[in-house]
Amino acid sequence: MELKIKQIENGYLMEWQEETEENKFTTCQEAIVNDDDMSDDDKESMKKLLYYVAEFFGCHYNKWSQLNLKINWDKKGHKLE
């Protein structure tokens, strides 16, 4: 399965092919868009995109598991030299 991701002006556009009938495919699209032009919304859109990609490829949330994917922006950065 292939998922194409394009960055658009206000978020991301995902595109993939789904088989509708034997050897017949249709192109599907879904967008994740920013609500505002704030930098936090860019990070939230990226977080939604990464969760979407994980779900698309079969990494599903399990409320009983202790090993679910968690994406946060809570770590302090470090200076690159």
Number of neighbours of residue 12 by Cβ within 10 angstroms: 19
Contacts of 18 (CB under 8 A, 6+ apart): 25, 26, 28
Confidence of residue 40 (pLDDT cuts 50, 70, 90): low
Q: What is the DSSP letter of 21?
A: E
H helical segments located in 1-81: 39-56
Confidence of residue 35 (pLDDT cuts 50, 70, 90): confident
Contacts of 41 (CB under 8 A, 6+ apart): 34, 35
- Break the chain into its structural domains and give their ranges: 1-81
DSSP states along 4-17: EEEEETTEEEEEEE
Whole-number pLDDT of residue 17: 94
Q: Fill in the amino acid letter for 45.
A: S
* pTM, two decimal places: 0.77
